[in-house]
Amino acid sequence: GQQVMQIPQYQHVQEGEDFTTYCNSSTTLSNIQWYKQRPGGHPVFLIQLVKSGEVKKQKRLTFQFGEAKKNSSLHITATQTTDVGTYFCAGGAGSYQLTFGKGTKLSVIP
Amino acid sequence: DVKVTQSSRYLVKRTGEKVFLECVQDMDHENMFWYRQDPGLGLRLIYFSYDVKMKEKGDIPEGYSVSREKKERFSLILESASTNQTSMYLCASSLTSGRRADTQYFGPGTRLTVL
């Protein structure tokens, strides 16, 4: 079945440093979504990418979808303590369900 | 705003008990999902339902069953709870967009401990 690999599993950064998490799918995706889970919370939708090579920005967050629609990345510029949490990518392949990566847990040291 | 609610935030049960976890969504979504979340393993799909009375197995259905008698409600049943089912259980719902999987809205989760 479809697999979505996400790296790194953990990332510790100093406040103000940049952060990137990467996702790779074993199959071509129809769309990819990103979710954020704050400590003690539940996953919350951030954004969806659909087109090959698509790039979207939300303030300090930049999301990319690869040309082959098999990989994606989330980059945070100048991290803040409010960015702490686990970031999940989730790939869709034309069905009802999403396949989630295992997530990257981001810690920000003030 | 979409609201997904789960019956309990914390639950403690004994080995062998039958356990019911309830999930309700208020946005008339067709699809509903049950995941379990364990450290280092991410979100693993147990079951999902794309319509009333319809269900599909996810990646880890063993030891679980589900029920969807009404569109807004999706129940997860542990027929005979075991200690390895101690976990965080998350319910989610989504619309059916046709060609691709739509955004999922998650409930707050139920942390189940089986003693």
Which pLDDT value is given to residue A71?
97
CB contact at 8 A, A33 and A89: yes
Q: Which residues of B touch A50 (CB under 8 A)?
A: 100
Distance, CA of B99 to CA of A108 (rounded, Å): 38
Distance, CA of B95 to CA of B30 (rounded, Å): 5
- pLDDT tens per residue, range A28-43: 999 999 999 999 999 9
Residues 6+ apart with CB under 8 A from A17: A78, A79
- Is the pLDDT at B86 greater than 70? The verdict is yes
Q: Report CB contact under 8 Å: B101, A44.
A: no
Find residues 66-105 of chain A whose CB sits inside 8 Å of chain B: 88, 90, 92-98, 100-103
- Is the pLDDT at B2 greater than 70? The verdict is no
CA dihedral A105, B33, A25, A20 (to 10 degrees): -20
Q: Report CB contact under 8 Å: A100, B43.
A: yes
- Is the pLDDT at B111 greater than 90? The verdict is yes
Distance, CA of A93 to CA of A32 (rounded, Å): 9
**What is residue A97's three-state secondary structure?**
coil
Query: Looking at chain B, which residue has its C-alpha nearest residue A101?
Result: B42
Distance, CA of A21 to CA of A37 (rounded, Å): 14
In chain B, % helix, strand, coil (3-state, to 5) comes to 5, 55, 40
Distance, CA of A69 to CA of A77 (rounded, Å): 24
- pLDDT tens per residue, range B37-66: 999 899 999 999 998 999 999 999 999 999
For the record, the structure tokens of B27 come out as 């946005």
CB contact at 8 A, A31 and A89: no
Distance, CA of A87 to CA of B59 (rounded, Å): 21
Which pLDDT value is given to residue B101?
78
- Is the pLDDT at B68 greater than 70? The verdict is yes
- Is the pLDDT at A94 greater than 90? The verdict is no
Which pLDDT value is given to residue A86?
97
Distance, CA of B92 to CA of B59 (rounded, Å): 16
Q: Decide if B16 touches A, using CB distance below 8 A.
A: no
Q: Decide if A110 touches B, using CB distance below 8 A.
A: no
Q: Which of B35, B103, B107 sits opposite A48 (nearest CB)?
A: B103
Q: Decide if A50 touches B, using CB distance below 8 A.
A: yes
pLDDT band at A16 (very low <50, low <70, confident <90, very high): very high
Give me chain B's average pLDDT, please: 93
Residue B26 to residues A41, A44, B2, B44, Cα–Cα distance (Å) = 20, 17, 7, 24
Which pLDDT value is given to residue B67?
97
Calculate mean pLDDT across residues A63-86.
97
Cα–Cα–Cα angle for A59, A60, A64, rounded to 5 degrees: 95
Phi and psi angles of residue A52, each rounded to the nearest 5 degrees, phi first:
-60, 130
For the record, the structure tokens of A54 come out as 């698509």
- Is the pLDDT at A57 greater than 90? The verdict is yes
